[in-house]
């Protein structure tokens, strides 16, 4: 007998069905699309988003090689299932930095979510709470961090870029502490923006009413020196270094997580600097095009830290089987970014809740078919490299 678990439109999203379901640009609901996968939501989002929003949320840097390869990396591995294995009492639970989580699917920091849907970051937080998912809020969120914290998520981290002054950085950290965030996630792979040609082609700029409200009131970067090079003498002159990470470690009792680690030497240095966890990330292919896909580099980072800290990863995850492959290569948990705003643009907070449910359903089914009743049973022996 084959057990069929319904995961189509409308399944598992009644927890927050009081939310409206208006689209961003078009009324996607009028066409009543069948949304049974994250790919379905991505296709619908291309119609729901404005061209400017689509370029920002769905695009990457340069020729978008890394964007494509992040996804393609999962196809390099096939799963080798085990059979006739007992599944009674199975679960997707795990422990991460002292927290017991129901599943390993985290919501990555994504800026300006109100550009995708009026529900914005608060809607995403409500969906995260309903599906028991840990959410990472971007410092470039379009809503105040305090408002998002009140929206209902029970476990939340706050992402920052190191600001031009340490005082400004500390202002953000203190606000996050007061609002109940449990970790500071420092993005370290984007001291300067990548070359985003897709955004250039549509004339990207923030729409009226959308702004990085948590950064308002903080001092701007110093002006470009006369005759100076914009990249080397301005942006990179104000970029953080390892001493800034060590300083930040001394300033807060919150967990400190570095996001954007790809090189094994950097991973070891991060642990020495006091990081409590690392996120293997290439910024979703939005910064340095042709940088190594995250799944490809994950084993090297895991090997470098030798279990000293948890290693998480993001990039290209659209299926429950992708999560199994990431776990098999050493990731403690995974983060999704683009799928959040794609679902948000199509069906608001309800859409975000739905994709989380879809991913968890797919993960549980794949675990059962691979003979794994717990995340700890997922190992490299499940993978065959093609």
Residues contacting 257, CB < 8 A, separation 6+:
157, 183, 184, 185, 186, 275, 276, 277, 278, 279, 312
By 3-state DSSP, what share of the chain in percent is helix, strand and coil, each rounded to 5?
45, 10, 45
CA distance 249 to 228: 32
Alpha-carbon gap, residue 259 to 174, rounded angstroms: 20
Known binding-site residue numbers for glyoxylate: 56, 161, 196, 283, 286
SS3 226: coil
* pLDDT exceeds 70 at position 15: no
- Please provide residue 77's backbone torsions phi and psi, each rounded to the nearest 5 degrees: -120, 135
Residue 153: what pLDDT?
67
Q: Cα separation of 247 and 28, whole Å?
A: 48
Catalytic residues: 283
Distance CA 171, CA 174 (A): 5
> Radius of gyration over alpha carbons of the chain, in Å?
20
What is the tens place of the pLDDT at every residue in 61-102? 999 999 999 999 999 999 999 999 999 999 999 999 999 999
For residue 50, give the nearest of 96, 116, 141 by alpha carbon: 116
Q: What is the pLDDT of residue 32?
A: 54
Residue positions forming the annotated binding site for FMN: 109-111, 138, 159, 187, 259, 281, 337-338
Euclidean distance between CA atoms 311 and 102, whole angstroms: 18
State the chain's mean pLDDT as an integer.
91
For residues 220-234, give the mean pLDDT: 75
CATH pick for 14-385 out of 3.20.20.70, 3.40.50.1370, 3.40.50.720, 3.40.50.970: 3.20.20.70
SS3 36: coil
Q: What is the pLDDT of residues 247-285, one digit of tens each?
A: 999 999 999 999 999 999 999 999 999 999 999 999 999
If we measure between CA atoms, which residue out of 124, 123, 161, 156 comes closest to residue 140?
A: 161
Question: pLDDT at residue 384 above 50?
Answer: yes
Q: Which residues lie closer than 8 Å to 89 by C-beta, 6 or more apart?
A: 373
What does the alpha-carbon distance between residue 148 and residue 239 come to, in Å, rounded to a whole number? Answer: 28
Model confidence, pTM: 0.91
176 CB-side CA count, 13 A: 30
Q: Within the chain, how many helices (H) and strands (E) appear?
A: 12, 12
Residues 6+ apart with CB under 8 A from 1: none
Structure tokens that stand for 213 in this block:
């409200």
Structure tokens at 154: 């029970």
Helix, strand or coil, per DSSP, at residue 278: strand
Question: CA–CA separation, 198 vs 57, rounded Å?
Answer: 10
- Please answer whether residues 169 and 180 qualify as being in contact, where contact means their C-beta atoms are separated by less than 8 angstroms: no
d(CA 311, CA 14): 33
Show binding-site residues.
56, 109-111, 138, 159, 161, 187, 196, 259, 281, 283, 286, 337-338
Residue 86 has phi, psi (to 5 degrees) of -70, 140
pLDDT digits (tens, 9 = 90+) for 146-169: 999 999 767 899 999 999 999 999
Residues of the chain with pLDDT > 90, as a percent, come to 84
Residue 99 CA from chain centroid, whole number: 18
Burial class (CB in 10 A: 0-12, 13-18, 19+), 27: exposed
**Domain limits of the chain?**
14-385
């Amino acid at each position: 007998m084959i057990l069929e678990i319904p995961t189509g439109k409308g399944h598992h999203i009644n927890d927050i069905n009081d939310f409206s379901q208006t689209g961003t640009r078009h009324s996607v609901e009028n066409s009543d699309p069948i949304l049974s996968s994250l790919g379905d939501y991505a296709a619908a989002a291309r119609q729901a988003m404005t061209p400017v929003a689509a370029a920002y949320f769905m695009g990457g840097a340069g020729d978008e090689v890394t964007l494509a390869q992040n996804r393609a990396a999962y196809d390099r591995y096939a799963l080798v299932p085990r059979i006739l294995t007992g599944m009674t009492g199975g679960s997707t639970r795990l422990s991460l930095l002292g927290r017991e989580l129901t599943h390993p699917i985290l919501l990555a920091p994504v800026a300006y979510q109100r550009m995708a849907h009026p529900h914005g970051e608060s809607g995403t937080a409500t969906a995260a709470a309903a599906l028991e998912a840990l959410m990472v809020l971007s410092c470039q969120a379009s809503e105040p961090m305090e408002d998002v914290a009140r929206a209902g998520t029970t476990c939340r981290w706050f992402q920052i870029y190191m600001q031009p002054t340490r005082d400004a950085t500390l202002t953000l950290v203190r606000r996050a502490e007061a609002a109940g965030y449990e970790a500071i996630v420092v993005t370290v792979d984007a001291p300067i923006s990548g070359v985003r040609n897709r955004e250039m082609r549509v004339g990207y700029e923030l729409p009226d009413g959308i702004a990085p409200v948590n950064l308002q009131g903080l001092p701007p970067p110093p002006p470009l020196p006369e005759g100076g090079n914009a990249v080397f003498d301005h942006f990179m002159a104000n970029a953080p270094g390892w001493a800034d990470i060590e300083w930040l470690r001394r300033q807060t009792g919150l967990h400190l997580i570095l996001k954007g680690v790809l090189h094994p030497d950097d991973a070891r240095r991060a642990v020495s600097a006091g990081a409590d966890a690392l996120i293997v990330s290439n910024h979703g292919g939005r910064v340095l095009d042709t940088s190594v896909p995250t799944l490809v580099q994950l084993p090297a980072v895991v090997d470098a830290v030798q279990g000293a800290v948890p290693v998480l990863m993001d990039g290209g995850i659209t299926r429950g089987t992708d999560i199994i492959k990431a776990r098999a290569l050493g990731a403690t948990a995974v983060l999704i970014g683009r799928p959040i705003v794609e679902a948000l643009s199509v069906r608001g907070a309800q859409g975000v809740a739905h994709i989380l449910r879809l991913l968890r359903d797919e993960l549980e089914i794949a675990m059962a078919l691979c003979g794994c009743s717990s995340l700890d049973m997922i190992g490299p022996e499940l993978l065959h490299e093609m």
